[in-house]
Chains A and B, each alone.
Chain A
Amino acid sequence: GNSVTQMEGPVTLSEEAFLTINCTYTATGYPSLFWYVQYPGEGLQLLLKATKADDKGSNKGFEATYRKETTSFHLEKGSVQVSDSAVYFCALIIQGAQKLVFGQGTRLTINP
């Protein structure tokens, strides 16, 4: 089946630290990959996406590269800010299908 596994949280970092949140997937077809962010009390916002192997998605200083050989889509940011504190979800959708499959989410807290 299709599934997404994320690095378990919570993750706590100091401001300006380097961030990596690991995400790996299994898919029966050819997936598009996404990172969503959820701020406290809010719905999900698309952070970045990649639709084919070796594509790099980027937004707001975050990056993730679609690695087909390792079935991974790790999220990185070089210098985190307090405002990045949120829950981050990795997700996939099989191209041609409708359903998003989410990972379990990783709660990130950035301390000043």
Chain B
Amino acid sequence: GAVVSQHPSWVICKSGTSVKIECRSLDFQATTMFWYRQFPKQSLMLMATSNEGSKATYEQGVEKDKFLINHASLTLSTLTVTSAHPEDSSFYICSATSGRTSYNEQFFGPGTRLTVL
């Protein structure tokens, strides 16, 4: 099946620093990638939808200047948390699909746990 990887799997950083998380589709070309945030014992909250070669579409309430998303190629999307603060600590999960319709299954990465001290 299709494999999506994330790197790093966990990261600890100091408040005020920026952190970059990578999401890669390993064996297929991902025209669309999604970034989710998951708080402890809660559901996934969609942050943004990223189509290759175009700007990401952010969900309401998500600060685009805080969470920078780049989908530079068909196999890589990055999420940069800028000037991270403790409230940004969370589990970030990406997913990828090879098509732009709902008929194409989304494949999820294993997640990245971010802890901001």
Are A97 and B102 in contact, with the CB atoms below 8 A?
A: yes
Task: For the complex, give the distance between the alpha carbons of A100 and B42 in Å.
Answer: 16
Residues of B within 8 A of A86 (CB): none
Are A96 and B44 in contact, with the CB atoms below 8 A?
A: no
Q: Which of B67-75, B79-87, B108-116 touches A?
A: B108-116
Are A95 and B103 in contact, with the CB atoms below 8 A?
A: yes
| B interface residues, tally (CB under 8 Å) | 25
B54 at the interface (CB under 8 A from A): no
- Listed in ascending order, the chain B residues whose CB lies under 8 Å from chain A are 4, 6, 32, 34, 41-44, 46, 49, 93, 95, 97, 100-103, 105-111, 113
Residues of B within 8 A of A89 (CB): 43-44
A76-112 vs B, Cβ < 8 Å mask (1 yes, 0 no): 0000000000000100011111111011110100000
Residues of B within 8 A of A100 (CB): 34, 46, 95, 106
Known: A100-B46, A103-B43. 13 other contacts (CB 8 A): A32-B102, A41-B113, A43-B93, A44-B95, A49-B105, A89-B44, A94-B102, A97-B101, A98-B49, A98-B97, A98-B102, A99-B49, A100-B95
Are B101 and A43 in contact, with the CB atoms below 8 A?
A: no
8 nearest A-B residue pairs (beta carbon): A44-B108, A93-B102, A43-B108, A43-B110, A43-B111, A104-B43, A102-B43, A95-B102
CB contacts between A and B, total, < 8 Å = 56
Are B43 and A45 in contact, with the CB atoms below 8 A?
A: no
Least Cβ distance of A53 to chain B in Å?
16
Among A36, A94, A98, A104, point to the contact of B100 (Cβ < 8 A).
Answer: A98
Task: For the complex, give the distance between the alpha carbons of A99 and B100 in Å.
Answer: 10
Residues of B within 8 A of A107 (CB): 41
Residues of A within 8 A of B6 (CB): 43
> Who on chain A is nearest to B101 by CB?
A96
Among A32, A42, A102, point to the contact of B44 (Cβ < 8 A).
Answer: A102
Are A105 and B101 in contact, with the CB atoms below 8 A?
A: no
A17 at the interface (CB under 8 A from B): no
Are B108 and A105 in contact, with the CB atoms below 8 A?
A: no
Are B102 and A44 in contact, with the CB atoms below 8 A?
A: no
Residues of A within 8 A of B44 (CB): 44, 89, 102
